[in-house]
A and B are shown apart, each in its own frame.
Chain A
Amino acid sequence: MAVKQEIKYLTAVKTEKRAKKYCRFKKLGIRYVDYKDGEFLKKFLNEQGKMLPRRISGNSLKFQRKVAQAIKKARQMALLPYVTDLLK
Chain B
Amino acid sequence: MNYELMVIFTPVLSEEDYKAAQKKFADIVKENGGEVTHENPWGLRSLAYPIQKKTTGLYLVLEYNAPSDLNEKLKVQLNRDENVLRHMITALDKYAVQYNNRKRNGVNADSKTAEA
Which residues does A use to contact B, with CB under 8 Å?
24, 28-32, 34-40, 73, 75-82, 84
Contact = CB atoms under 8 A, between A and B. Distances in A.
B111 to A, nearest CB: 4
Contact of B8 (A28, A37, A77, A80): A77
Range, interface on chain B: 20 to 34
A78 B98 contact: no
Interface stretch (B23-31, B66-74, B75-83, B87-95): B87-95
B115 interface: yes
B6 A77 contact: yes
24 contacts: A28-B114, A28-B115, A29-B111, A30-B112, A32-B93, A32-B99, A32-B112, A34-B112, A35-B90, A37-B116, A39-B116, A40-B116, A73-B88, A73-B90, A75-B48, A77-B6, A78-B8, A78-B47, A78-B49, A78-B51, A78-B86, A79-B48, A80-B48, A82-B49
B96 interface: yes
